[in-house]
Amino acid sequence: MSCRINEGANVMSTSDHTSNGIEALQRFYQAGSEYVQTGGKDFGPVAATLHPQIVMIQADSLPFGGQWHGREGFERWMQAFSEAWSSASATDLRFFEHDDTVVVVAQMEATARASGQSFRAPICHVVRIRDGLLMEFRMFYWDTVATNHALARDQHFVKVMPRDFVRRRPSGTGGLPG
């Protein structure tokens, strides 16, 4: 996981300052990028950006999904994420900050380890900050089905169409409710 923070990234804040939460996230993104680039050798710099009670929340349908608690849980999530992706970065970052929450809208660019398939899709991070550290990190993928497909994970989904909920009327009733 890496994050390229675009020069002049878009920042919107509803508070008098934009630095605390966004700076905490930028420290995390930088530390996470270095962690991945070094093959996960030293989690210390990442851990230093995380509150001891950090919770990472990902969609359950993903191979690294679920809730990961504490710094040790977060490290296990990073390992699981790295097993799925051989590279991943967030680009085109837009930050929105209000009180203790920062929302980041971005593009994920990644390569799946199992399939070698390139992947690009919109993502959103909703992050709560406490004492300058990440307290809760919720990750949203635009399309988890496409994400799993890129990861070469077969899933079977039932497609339900609105017409499946329409009660069939006997012929001769003019289609009017009886």
Task: Give the per-residue pLDDT at 65.
Answer: 92
Average pLDDT over residues 76-95: 89
| Pair 112, 86: CB distance under 8 Å | yes
Burial of 73 (0-12, 13-18, 19+ CB in 10 A): middle
Decide: helix, strand or coil at residue 81.
Answer: helix
Quick one: pLDDT band at residue 23, thresholds 50, 70, 90?
A: very high
Range with the lowest mean pLDDT among 106-110, 149-153, 161-165?
161-165
Task: Give the per-residue pLDDT at 44.
Answer: 94
Percent of the chain at pLDDT exceeding 90: 44
| Pair 31, 42: CB distance under 8 Å | no
pLDDT at residue 7 above 70? no
CA-to-CA distance for 171 and 169, rounded, in angstroms?
A: 6
- Of residues 7 and 152, the one with the higher pLDDT is 152
| Pair 15, 102: CB distance under 8 Å | no
| Pair 43, 25: CB distance under 8 Å | no
Average pLDDT over residues 35-45: 83
Average pLDDT over residues 83-95: 88
CA-to-CA distance for 125 and 176, rounded, in angstroms?
A: 48
Give the type of residue at 138.
R
Residues 6 or more apart whose Cβ sits within 8 Å of residue 114 = 84, 151, 152
CA-to-CA distance for 66 and 55, rounded, in angstroms?
A: 10
Quick one: pLDDT band at residue 160, thresholds 50, 70, 90?
A: very low
Residues 6 or more apart whose Cβ sits within 8 Å of residue 44 = none
Decide: helix, strand or coil at residue 124.
Answer: strand
The residue extents of the domains of the chain are 2-165
Mean pLDDT of the chain: 80
Beta bridge partners of 128: 101, 136
**Tokens 């990440």 appear where?**
134
Q: Does domain 2-165 have CATH number 3.10.450.50?
A: yes
Task: Give the per-residue pLDDT at 170.
Answer: 52
pTM for this prediction: 0.75
Decide: helix, strand or coil at residue 101.
Answer: strand
